[in-house]
Structure 1
Amino acid sequence: MKPVLLWSDALIFLLVVVLVIFFYRLRRDPQTRERWGDVFSSRLGMVTFTVIMTYVGIALADSVHFRKALENPEGLQTEEVFYDNKVTSLLDVMLRGMGERFERTYSAPFALNSFEKENMKDANGNAVRDFPPLMHAGQHLTDPSGQFGDIVSKSLQALLWGLLISALLLAPQWLLLRHSQYPWHASWVVQVGVICFFTWLVMISEYYHVLGTDQGGADVAYQSIKGVRTGVLLGTLSTLIMLPIAVTLGVSAGYFKGWVDDVVQYLYTTLSSIPGILLIAASVLLFQVYIDLNPDFFSIGMEKADARFIALCFILGVTSWSSLCRLIRAETLKISQLGYVQAAHAFGVSHVRILSRHILPNVVHIILITFVLDFSSLILAEAVLSYIGVGIDPSMGSWGNMINGARSELSREPVIWWTLSGALFFMFVLVLAANLFSDLVRDAFDPRTASRRSEA
Structure 2
Amino acid sequence: MPKFVFLATDLALLAILIGIGVYIRHAARSPSLRQTWIQVLKNPSAVSAGLVLLLFFLLATLDSVHFRPRLPAADAAAASDAPVAYSTRTLSLLDVLLSGPREAVERTYSVPLGTHQFSKESVLVNGKMVRDFPRLAYGGRHLQDPARDWLPDVLRKSAAGLAAGLLASAALWLLVTWRLGKNAAQPLGASFTRLWHGHTAYPWRAALWTLSVLLLLVGWLAALWPYYHVMGTDQTGNDVLFQAIKSVRTAIVIGSLATLATLPLAILFGVLAGYFKGWVDDAIQYLYTVLSSIPSVLLISAFVLLIQVFIDKNPNLFATGLERADVRLFLLAVVLGITGWAQLARLLRAETLKLGELDFVQAARAFGVSDAGIMRRHILPNLMHIVVIVAVLDFSGLVLYEAVLSYVGVGVDPSTNSFGTMINGARNEMSRDPVVWWNLVTAFSFMVTLVLSMTLFSSAVREAFDPRARSFRVHKLPPPRTASAAASSKS
One fold, TM greater than 0.5? yes
Quick check: which has more Rg, 1 or 2? Answer: 2
Measured in 2, the distance between the counterparts of 1:304 and 1:171 equals: 49
Aligned partner of 1:208 among 228, 247, 251: 228
CA apart distance, 1:236: 0.5
Shift of 1:395: 2.0
**CA contact 1:92–1:98 (8 Å) conserved in 2:** no
Instruction: Specify the alignment match of 1:117 in structure 2.
Output: 120
Matched residues, number: 455
Which string of whole-angstrom CA distances, capped at 9 and with x for unpartnered residues, describes residues 145-165 of structure 1?
221221121123323444566
The secondary structure found in structure 2 opposite 1:119 is strand
Where 1:406 maps in the other structure, the secondary structure is: helix
Amino acid at match of 2:117: S
Q: Note the aligned Cα RMSD (angstroms).
A: 2.8
What do the CA deviations read for 1:82-117 (whole angstroms, capped 9, x no partner)? 222221111122224211111111111111111111
State the SS of the aligned residue for 1:116.
coil
Q: Tell me the equivalent position of 2:485.
A: none
- Give the fraction of aligned pairs with identical amino acids, expressed as a percent: 48
Q: After TM superposition, give the deviation of residue 259 of structure 1 in Å.
A: 0.9
Q: CA deviation at 1:174?
A: 7.7
Q: Which residue of 2 aligns with 1:135?
A: 137
- Do the aligned partners of 1:362 and 1:447 also contact (CA within 8 Å) in 2? no
Question: What is the Cα deviation at residue 369 of structure 1?
Answer: 3.2
Q: Give 1:31 deviation, angstroms.
A: 0.7
- 2:280 is paired with a residue of what secondary structure? helix
Structure 1 counterpart of 2:52: 51
Deviation at 1:5, TM superposition (A): 1.6
**CA shift at 1:122, angstroms?**
1.8
CA contact (8 A) 1:177 1:184 kept: no
2:107 corresponds in structure 1 to 104
Q: C-alpha displacement at 1:262, in angstroms?
A: 0.9
Structure 1 position 392 matched with structure 2 position 412: yes
Distance in 2 between the 1:303 and 1:290 partners?
Answer: 14
CA distance in 2, matches of 1:387, 1:435: 22
Secondary structure of the structure 1 residue equivalent to 2:450: helix
Matched with 2:338 is 318
CA contact (8 A) 1:230 1:397 kept: yes
State the distance in 1 between where 2:393 and 2:368 align. 38
Between the aligned partners of 1:54 and 1:353, the Cα distance in structure 2 is: 41
Higher mean alpha-carbon deviation, 56-65 vs 347-356, is at: 347-356
- Give, in whole Å, the separation in 1 of the partners of 2:471 and 2:436: 52
| Alpha-carbon distance, 1:393 to partner | 1.4
- Correspondence list, 1:14-33, <5 A: 14-33=15-34
Q: What SS class does the counterpart of residue 329 from structure 2 fall into?
A: helix
Structure-2 separation of matches of 1:254 and 1:454? 37
> Partners in 1 of 2:276 and 2:474 — Cα distance?
32
Deviations 1:398-455 (A, max 9, x none): 1111011111111222211110111111111111111111111111111334696899
What residue identity is the alignment partner of 1:112? T
Once the 2 structures are TM-superposed, how far is the Cα of residue 261 of structure 1 from its aligned partner? 0.4
Q: Report Cα offsets for 1:177-197 as digits up to 9, x if no partner.
A: 874942344323323432442
Residue 26 of structure 1 deviates from its aligned partner by 1.2
Cα distance in 2 for residues equivalent to 1:285 and 1:59: 27
Q: Residue 261 in 1 paired to residue 264 in 2?
A: no
In structure 1, the gaps of 5 or more residues are none
Residue 187 (structure 1) aligned with residue 207 (structure 2): yes
The aligned counterpart of 1:243 is 263
Confirm or deny: 8 A CA contact 2:110 2:117 kept in the other structure. Answer: yes
With over 3 angstroms needed to count, the CA separation of the structure-2 counterparts of 1:192 and 1:64, relative to structure 1, is farther
Contact 2:408/2:424, CA 8 A, preserved across alignment: no
Residue 237 of structure 1: CA displacement? 0.3
CA distance in 1, matches of 2:307, 2:278: 37
| 2:102 counterpart letter in structure 1 | G
Give the match for residue 148 of structure 1: 151
SS in 2 for 1:84: coil
Name the aligned partner's letter for residue 40 of structure 1: L
Aligned partners of 1:192, 1:27: CA distance in 2, in Å? 28
- Normalising by structure 2, what TM-score? 0.85
* Alpha-carbon contact 2:42-2:202 (below 8 Å) kept: yes
Trace 1:439-450 onto structure 2 (pairs within 5 A).
439-449=459-469
Say if 1:362 and 1:446, in contact at 8 Å, map to a contact too: no
TM alignment of 1:277-296, pairs within 5 A:
277-296=297-316
Contact 1:112/1:134 (CA < 8 Å) preserved in 2?
A: yes
Structure 1 residue 373 and structure 2 residue 411: aligned? no
Is contact 2:389-2:465 (8 Å) kept? Answer: no
Quick check: 1:217 aligned with 2:218?
no
TM-score (normalised: structure 1) = 0.91
Secondary structure of 2:86's partner?
strand
Q: Return the alpha-carbon distance in structure 2 between the equivalents of residues 25 and 360 of structure 1.
A: 16
Mapped partners of 2:140, 2:471: distance in 1? 62
Change in CA separation of 1:248 and 1:168 when aligned onto 2, cut-off 3 Å? farther
Pair 317,108 (structure 1): closer, same or farther in 2 beyond 3 Å: same
2:309, 2:119 → 1: CA distance? Answer: 39
Asked if residue 3 in structure 1 is aligned to residue 4 in structure 2, the reply is yes
Q: Which sits farther off after the overlay, 271-280 or 221-230?
A: 271-280
Cα distance, 1:210 vs structure 2: 0.7
Structure 1 counterpart of 2:60, one-letter code: A
